[in-house]
A and B are shown apart, each in its own frame.
Chain A
Amino acid sequence: MSGTSALDIAGLRFAWPGQPPCLAIEQFGIGAGEAVFLHGPSGSGKSTLLSLIGGLLMPDEGRLRVLGTDTAALGASARDRFRADHLGIIFQLSNLLPYLSALDNIGLACRFSRRRREHAGEVAAEARRLAARLDLDPSLLARPAAALSVGQQQRVAAARALIGRPGLVIADEPTSALDAERQAGFVDLLLGECQASGSALLFVSHDLSLAGRFDRCVRLTDINRPEGAS
């Protein structure tokens, strides 16, 4: 994936139906393997931007390339497949299916994507390896996800996002439920693993204290100027 930028946005416009424009981004990009910290107040369009990158929303105008692919040009199911193959996503909270074991939750990404299954090799072994790298005790892996602590759940979610080496990992405020000490630990583990697997990282948060650990820090309000969009 080296050489192709992980994300390339130009002249992007988006408005929810019947509402004023909420996103107008002239230029924003993430290099291959780059770790970017994106922050902005709530309501600034972070979730909308992530949905656009994930291919769940279509831009009204402009260019949006993910790993060199113009996702808007793909059909709906091809976009879903692209997301399964190339994106790893970590939510703020409750990332896991509570009725599956931690190990099954990590392997879940490979069940929906042949590409990631092939990249992972032996899925269970790779899941165990990632879990160990993320400091998860092997004895936890057989337990149902609902029995894990919030911090453990977030590390399982990170392992799931990383398995099969997707080109881009998106983390939507994954640390907001953790205390400050664990936040830093989690971010270090995530950054280390993204680097090891060659995945770019878009880390969204409003907590600037973490920003220094990333390659680059971007304020959404600096790149997004919807009032000047019309």
Chain B
Amino acid sequence: MRAWLWLTTRSMANRRLSVGLAVVSIALAVTLLLGVERLRSDARSGFANTLSGADLIVGARSGPVPLLLYSVFRIGDATSDIAWSSLEAIAAQPLVKWVVPLSLGDSHRGFRVLGTDGRYFAHYQYADRRSLAFAEGRPFEGVFEAVLGAEVAEALGYRLGERIVLAHGAGTASLAEHADKPFTVVGILARTGTPVDRTVHVGLAAIEAIHLDWSGGAPIPGLGLTAEETRRFDLSPRRVTAALVGLKTRASVFRMQRYVNEYKGEPLLAILPGATLQQLWGLMAVAEQALLAISALVVAVGLAGLVAVLVASLGERRRELAILRALGAGPRDVFLLLAGESLLLALAGCGLGAVLLFTLTGALGPWLEARFGLVLVFQGLQPREWLWLAAVVAAALVASLVPAWRAYRLSLADGMTIRI
């Protein structure tokens, strides 16, 4: 056995270019496969962790998935909003424990601005019922005060006391800025690994104040109110984008959902966040599976490359096989020699692929989090990933039957006669 391992490694070292390329192609395929798998599971757990502890999410009537996406994940925009009076009616229901209003639509240098009130900091929960915590400072109290998510503060280098200007709209290149009404940073939240980290939080009154002199998404010409002047107006909110609703008992969730959906004042929609997330995964499953299938195909291409390298090498190795036969190797030994070589190459490819995966997640993790809010957990190989690697090695062994069988046939036919 040791003699065979010694011979195999020496023989592979002799063909290091073609063998090395085969290993690299397998490694790249494995990195892709594991990377897709890791992105998928980390995206799922990231989304699940964001679910905010709310029993219901209420918004204007649209689809459940868009409502979930814009209210909790800050993806996409609301098509309509809801009246403050509707929200008060819901809050007054005996089954309701708390309501957190959410007002979206503005941004600051690419980060979304969320208008809410103190109840947000009290009731918002993420990842296993953890509440929001302040890394520095306090919740907003005055109109022109802001609380930053951890990522916003870090990416823009903001500290407490910083003066910031909000922009109308959610794009990264907003032209219309509320430059005349700057905000002061009074608090920075601890990191959560959820979209909260990428959000600028202000009071609902602030949202009203910066839009007082606006109409239809643009400033009203000639009506420039200063921050001081806005304080003379009634800044109580009239409309919000959505609301998180917590109930006294979970058992009443369907009754409350029906109440909201049948609300007479305006068309509303209430969703159960967990159920809607499942619906979202249902929609995503096709794309996920397509991605996974493509990665599996890439692995198949890598293995086909491995088989091609081994089969091509058999031509020049026929002589080697005949010498080994003369020295006492049986056809079975020749078969095992080739299969063992595939195994070694597949193992090397998997090892290199895992190293590449770790390097890439280490290098790209911060960028993915900043750009897409996707938090990659830096961790060792998971049971599921070990299974994938085992599947790749098993597939390599099955694929190696092709060159191994061919070598077996050749060595039976050639015996110890050298044919070149």
Contacts and interface: CB of A to CB of B under 8 A. Distances in A.
Nearest to A86: B328
A50 B416 CA distance: 9
Is chain B's binding surface mostly helix, strand, loop or mixed? helix
Contacts of A113: 328
Given A83-B328, A92-B418, A99 B13 contact: yes
Nearest to B322: A91
B327 A112 contact: yes
Q: Contact residue range for chain B?
A: 20 to 34
Interface string A76-103: 1100110111000101111111111000
A99 B332 contact: no
A47 B328 contact: no
A32 to B, nearest CB: 21
A111 B1 CA distance: 10
B20 to A, nearest CB: 15
Nearest to A116: B328
Contacts of A84: 327-329
Interface stretch (A3-11, A35-43, A51-59, A125-133): A51-59
Interface in B317-368: 319-320, 322-323, 325-333
Nearest to A93: B418
Contacts of A98: 14
Contact of A54 (B326, B332, B333): B326
B41 interface: no
Q: Contact residue range for chain A?
A: 20 to 34
B272 to A, nearest CB: 66
A89 B7 CA distance: 19
Nearest to A80: B330
Interface string A107-138: 01101110000000000000000000000000
Interface in B392-420: 415-418, 420
A83 B416 CA distance: 11
A56 B325 contact: yes
B172 interface: no
A219 to B, nearest CB: 22
Contact of A96 (B323, B329, B416): B323
B329 A80 contact: yes
Contact of A77 (B13, B320, B323, B330): B330
B40 interface: no
A85 B328 contact: yes
A112 B328 contact: yes
B332 A77 contact: yes
Give the one of B7, B328, B331, B415 with max A CB within 10 A: B328
Interface of B: 3, 6-7, 10-11, 13-14, 319-320, 322-323, 325-333, 415-418, 420
Interface of A: 47, 50-51, 54, 56-57, 76-77, 80-81, 83-85, 89, 91-100, 104, 108-109, 111-113
27 contacts: A51-B415, A51-B416, A51-B417, A54-B326, A54-B415, A54-B416, A76-B330, A77-B330, A77-B332, A80-B328, A80-B330, A83-B326, A83-B328, A84-B329, A89-B326, A89-B327, A91-B323, A91-B418, A94-B418, A96-B323, A97-B10, A99-B11, A99-B13, A108-B327, A111-B6, A112-B329, A113-B328
Given A94-B319, A97-B7, 4 more contacts: A51-B415, A54-B416, A104-B10, A112-B3
